[in-house]
Amino acid sequence: MAAEKGTALILRVTDFSETSRIVVMFSREHGRFSALAKGGRRLKGPFESSLDLLSTCDVVFLKKASSGLDLLTEARLVHRFRPEPNQLNALYAGYYVAELILGLTEDYDPHPEIYDEAQKLLESLADASNLSIKLTRFELIMLRECGQLPDFETCMACGAELTEGRLFGFWPGQGGMICPACQREDYSQIPVHAGTAQLLRRMASNENTAWSRLIPSPQQVKELRAVMLAAVTHTLGKRPNTLKLLRFQ
Amino acid sequence: MPRAIEPNHHAYGRHVGLLVQQLAALPGIGQKSAERLAQHLLDCSEEEAAALAHAILDVRRTIRRCSVCHNLTEQETCDICLDSRRDQGLVCIVEQPRDLLALEATGTFGGVYHVLGGRIAPLSGVGPDDLNLATLIRRVKSGKIRELVMATNPTLEGDGTALYIVNLLADEPVKITRLARGIATGSVLEFANREMLSDALKGRQSF
């Protein structure tokens, strides 16, 4: 067993025995992986109480050749997740990041872009403003990286570009939008105004636009969240637990 | 890790196999330890084995949650809540009964407790409704509580749970404090980690 090194974000910590813990981590180089931290509950030892949810640590671990858990031998805290003080919403947004990565990535499948964006988002939660835009951007990146990004450009029914029309529909089961001409009562669709559709297109684009400066209207926030909840729920196969606690203005 | 043996296929028969299976289901007990414990029980007298079996059954039948603080007790209300020498206006909030035991072992806390029964951990499906918060609110609203001491674990989820409670009780006239953090007495600064030192500096006290 060769020792592997990396910097990892901690996604889940579960007590295993009197002194040990099982830690699920996500690193830029290795993707998501689970490891047993023997003595991980003790204050002293090679982990120095660094194994906390959403902390970033420099880790050394022994990769198991079989399907068993890896063995975490060292962890040194790089930085701890510090949401805006007294802002539960920022804390829950951090939990949501962990839930999305846990649910939408596979073991040992590295996604450097997800790792970088997750770190940027967690850092930005020191200021809990504009949460809907920050989370929508991250959700779109997650969906793109796992090949499930909805199509916001063309109609899922007729294939026409969505340039004309005031009210479109988002159809999660088909993975995209429907133009006004193709909408039918029996389609389970979410109404999306043209402005919100434009926002979604800009935020989903690969180009580094100034998305963080976008200030959506309350109606757009409502529509953005409805679309993203439907898309994420469809991809995960269940409604994310943490979204029950998150509040968007 | 040794593989679990089906009870019916155990070398000593089905009954020993079942015993090993039950013991191996306990936290921290693996297959090998379960085999050793079963071997010990086979070697001990019938009275000793019966005493252990009765102790387990008695615990299950007699222990319940205190109706006031949710600590484990044999009566309707636990000894701590009934103790008139304790300050009933000072309530320490802990996640689990074992945290209460750890604080009691210090012998320095003269108030009473409230056991939440866990912490808010949405990733594990534990939300505020799963904790003993309704009884806490009732206790605070009774007006008899002067101060709440947050003694949830100093983790992200523990701190998050404490913050949730603080927000929940924001309109109540009760003082809310939390346990201090920092370096342990008897340790040396040189070997304290960055976080401990940082917490100790932030929470420094006047002489």
CA distances from residue A82 to A125, B6, B73 in whole angstroms, order as listed: 8, 48, 38
Longest dimension (CA), chain B: 68
Handedness of CA B87, B92, B98, B103 (dihedral sign): negative
The pLDDT assigned to A209 comes to: 64
Q: What are phi and psi of A31, to 5 degrees?
A: 75, -150
Kindly state the percentage of chain B with pLDDT values over 90.
77
- Nearest C-alpha in A relative to B157: A53
Distance between CA atoms of residues B82 and A12, nearest Å: 39
* Domain B85-203: assigned CATH number: 3.40.1360.10
pLDDT of residue B2 exceeding 60: no
The pLDDT assigned to A247 comes to: 85
Minimum distance, in Å, between the CA of residue B35 and any CA atom of chain A = 18
Q: What are phi and psi of B164, to 5 degrees?
A: -60, -45
- Nearest C-alpha in B relative to A76: B193
Q: Where are the domains of chain B?
A: 14-62, 85-203
Question: Inter-chain contact A91–B167, Cβ cutoff 8 Å?
Answer: no
Enter the tokens of residue B28.
């921290």
The pLDDT assigned to A202 comes to: 87
pLDDT of residue B1 exceeding 60: no
Q: What SS3 string covers A50-102?
A: CCCCCCEEEEEEECCCCCCCEEEEEEEEEECCCCCCCCHHHHHHHHHHHHHHH
Helix and strand numbers (H, E) in chain B are 8, 6
Distance between CA atoms of residues A212 and A155, nearest Å: 27
Pick from A116, A119, A113, A141: which is nearest to A54 by CA? A119
Between B185 and A169, the higher pLDDT residue: A169
Enter the tokens of residue A112.
């450097």
Residues A7-21 have pLDDT tens digits of 999 999 998 877 889
Pick from A194, A126, A130, A199: which is nearest to A161 by CA? A194
Pick from A15, B15, B9, B45: which is nearest to B23 by CA? B15
The pLDDT assigned to B34 comes to: 92
- Any A CB within 8 A of B193 CB: yes
Helical H segments across A70-214, by residue range: 88-104, 112-124, 131-145, 194-204
Question: Inter-chain contact A94–B163, Cβ cutoff 8 Å?
Answer: no
Question: Inter-chain contact B156–A54, Cβ cutoff 8 Å?
Answer: yes
DSSP B108-159: ---EEEEE-SS--BGGGTB-GGGSSHHHHHHHHHTT---EEEE---SSHHHH
pLDDT of residue B5 exceeding 70: no
- Any A CB within 8 A of B106 CB: no
The pLDDT assigned to A95 comes to: 96
Are A246 and A89 spatial neighbours (Cβ–Cβ below 8 Å)?
yes
* Domain A88-150+183-245: assigned CATH number: 1.20.1440.120
Residues B146-175 have pLDDT tens digits of 999 999 999 999 999 999 999 999 999 999
B56 Cβ neighbours under 8 A, 6+ residues apart: none
Residue B106's Cβ-count burial label (10 Å; 0-12, 13-18, 19+) is: exposed
Segments of chain A scoring below 70 in pLDDT: 1, 67, 207-209, 249
> What is the average per-residue pLDDT within B14-28?
90
Between B187 and B133, the higher pLDDT residue: B133
> What is the average per-residue pLDDT within B137-148?
95
ipTM value = 0.86
Are B41 and B18 spatial neighbours (Cβ–Cβ below 8 Å)?
no
Q: Name residues 115-174 of chain B within 8 A of A (Cβ).
A: 120, 122-123, 125, 127, 155-157, 160, 163-164, 166-167
Question: Inter-chain contact A99–B194, Cβ cutoff 8 Å?
Answer: no
Assess if CATH 3.30.565.60 describes domain B14-62: no
Average pLDDT, chain B: 91
Assess if CATH 3.40.50.300 describes domain A3-80: no
Helix (H, G, I), strand (E, B) or coil at A240: coil
DSSP B20-43: HHHHHTSTT--HHHHHHHHHHHHH
The pLDDT assigned to A248 comes to: 78
Query: Least CB-CB distance to B160: which of A49, A68, A88?
Result: A88
Question: Inter-chain contact A88–B123, Cβ cutoff 8 Å?
Answer: no
Distance between CA atoms of residues A104 and B182, nearest Å: 37
pLDDT of residue B196 exceeding 90: no
Q: Report, in angstroms and rounded to the nearest whole number, the Rg of chain B calculated over CA atoms.
A: 22
Q: Where are the domains of chain A?
A: 3-80, 88-150+183-245
Enter the tokens of residue A56.
């970033």
